[in-house]
Structure 1
């Protein structure tokens, strides 16, 4: 029995919401919630615009590194690094090395998530960006199979693994940087800027590839032109590191450090206390990865190799659709702040399931405008979900394990939905007619993800009722 004059334990909770009863719930402590403040400025901290710019720039550079490999895999890596294979087998092998980056992303999420929950969100932003940038530059320096033989694809695998390791840590640090500084009723908006970064990175990667592909002969592009975007990653990474050098740690982590409530073993706590939430978020987000990499990587290879559409036209179609996706992202996030995260995710998931068969039919026409329409609608369905997940995933976890839980769930979804999609889709499209097997595969993933989203709770402050009626229902933190 506690002495009357003994101060209460820091871990004491209000009786109505003890964390032991609902480990999959965000913490409800006042110190874990940034209060509403003047829009555009974090509490006692820097401008939200500057924070958003820094988080966007970092994810743009990281995803540039990641996407430039996917584009190269679709266009040139097969014949250069797997020349003894048939064209189809070479493309499959190149996409196999592409998949390795997804396998290593959850490992990166564990490694950098531990750092983020123990040492702070800020160190994650520097280490992950430096690792991915260095690995990407190195990919551009790997000699082809004709020069060093089997060592060439082995080196590709190792460097792709390191790319994924760094990217696995980047996303969690970036969304927490923005989200934990943001006013709670505009959190989805500010946390959506790291989600714009992938679009910017994709446009940069493919823009450079498009310019080189159009400006060089095919022989020159295959000999050295494809390496230039990888070398450029070094300069982009240095710029991103400079932009992040003056960032402050987030208020919520500073509060955790001040009160001594940081997790001792974040991954252990996530697996023991939040395993169901982890699996649901991974399954829910799998459709986003599957759709995005189907239209940005598989469709690129399918259009150029099977339909005979030029590289320039295919890259132009994909890039135009991605540009629209990036521009729409903040507006979709604002809807998530107003109507809730879960309804947006359910709507995007349902739209993805319904669009996959029309998308494949339009792609098979080989007509640029119809192919653009197919890709655009798929990406709009995608962004309806992914515009809000920068706020949604962290809100589902209590702050002490937020970096690990959100990052691991997000990157496990990449393994489920992104790693094998180009490989499976390429194999399923091995025929003369429209690749309906690809549509069935993507629609099936969408239905599974829809079921997972249906089992997740709402977290938006405007949408969550004042009381928590069910175990496992989080409050927006």
Structure 2
């Protein structure tokens, strides 16, 4: 089915890239972006606490480490505003190339940072600053890649083609977790803490070269080129989208809360939580994330294809509501002491529940906005939701665990609030599967 969609929609040679190139360009760029971002998330959970925050209690160190993680999320809406302006005015491709370069350079720089033992307070300050720059680049990436892939897609396959942008997340997570895991195993615990953690960050510079090779072959979609030729583009896209389409910005923000909240709790916060449950040397969390990432290559486009048949809303509503159940199952599995149950609970939470939202997401967000403000609108809602939920979820979870006396049920209650908002947003959003892109 996928190959038929590709083959039947190839444009005239020499004018536009065929759909294989568009899909690969969207996926490989977001893969590298998310590889860089997940490296930071994994390092925040496993190594940054002793390296950059050694002189505070373990609990406070965890909170401080996740606070720098949250700082990157805080920069993402600004990245969305800046990239949305230029992406809606000048074109999607140029902004995406710039975002990829910035992300790669920043991540490589993290790999050569001095630690607290070497530079004192300057070390965490530099770490937080680079994290903010990283957030700006990520704020530019997703909206452009999603919009580009959906605008190029056949009308009846927008969910599927949007999911190639989403595949960058499991691909990047799989790559980052694998490299982190292998570096940890190859160097050993002591050497890994001393220098081995830097290796995955330094590899980013080579991955960026690969991504640029593919992404430079892309062009903007015909729907954008026509709007540009007719001088129909917004002069100030962010102002226009907030003035005329603020409802859909609010809806896309709400749609993000449960999706990104569940994701970071099961892939980032879980690493710290499982270290406390299974011991500091345990790799059960990394293994579970690896398994769910690999399965994401099936579940993400699978849910997207379903949304091309039944609409965006039904799978999204299922994911929002079932997220609470998935989180309860994870904490029960973690308390059981069974590594197998932990892996199965994370696979259920990510591939069955989370991907029901994540698969259709790119298409739904892009379809909710007009071409003249599509990059700005989709990016802004996506990134504001990321800040409100994903950026603070590990920090809030770590704090609620302390308040709850080590019991996780306050975390479940917090997530239930996010899930309720997402369900309400999904109910309020219009069904866009059969709409024409304007």
Q: Please classify the TM superposition score into its range, dividing by the shorter chain length.
A: over 0.9
Distance 1:133 1:238 in 2: 9
Distance 2:11 2:354 in 1: 29
| 2:428 matched residue in structure 1 | 455
* Residue 290 in structure 1 maps to residue 266 in structure 2: no
* Residue 205 in structure 1 maps to residue 172 in structure 2: no
Deviation of the 1:433 alpha carbon:
5.5
Q: Which runs of 5+ in 2 are unaligned?
A: none
Alignment of 1:326-475 (within 5 A): 326-379=297-350, 380-430=352-402, 434-461=407-434
Alignment of 1:134-149 (within 5 A): 134-149=105-120
Alignment of 1:77-92 (within 5 A): 77-92=48-63
Q: Which runs of 5+ in 1 are unaligned?
A: 1-35, 465-474
Deviation of the 1:95 alpha carbon:
0.5
Q: Secondary structure at the match of 1:73?
A: helix
Alignment of 1:21-420 (within 5 A): 39-42=8-11, 45-308=16-279, 310-379=281-350, 380-420=352-392
Distance 1:78 1:301 in 2: 11
Deviation of the 1:358 alpha carbon:
2.4
Distance 2:437 2:219 in 1: 23
Q: TM-score, normalised by structure 2?
A: 0.95
- 8 Å contact 2:183–2:200 — kept in the other structure? no
Deviation of the 1:340 alpha carbon:
0.5
Deviation per residue, 1:385-414 (Å, 9 max, x gap): 111111110110010000000011111110
Distance 2:70 2:138 in 1: 13
Deviation of the 1:262 alpha carbon:
0.7
Q: TM-score, normalised by structure 1?
A: 0.87
The structure carrying a bigger helix percent of its residues is: 2
Distance 1:38 1:259 in 2: 30
Deviation of the 1:378 alpha carbon:
1.0
- 8 Å contact 1:213–1:312 — kept in the other structure? no
| 1:3 matched residue in structure 2 | none
Q: Secondary structure at the match of 1:216?
A: helix
Deviation per residue, 1:21-74 (Å, 9 max, x gap): xxxxxxxxxxxxxxx996342586322111101110000000001010000000
Q: Secondary structure at the match of 1:440?
A: helix
Q: Secondary structure at the match of 2:203?
A: helix
Q: Secondary structure at the match of 1:388?
A: helix
Aligned-residue RMSD, C-alpha: 1.6
Greater shift, 423-432 or 362-371, is seen at 423-432
Greater shift, 349-358 or 241-250, is seen at 349-358
Deviation per residue, 1:164-188 (Å, 9 max, x gap): 1001111111112211111111111
Deviation per residue, 1:184-242 (Å, 9 max, x gap): 11111011101001100001111011011122221110111001111011111111011
- 8 Å contact 1:175–1:390 — kept in the other structure? yes
Distance 2:47 2:364 in 1: 38
- 8 Å contact 2:312–2:360 — kept in the other structure? yes
- 8 Å contact 1:131–1:166 — kept in the other structure? yes
- 8 Å contact 2:274–2:284 — kept in the other structure? no
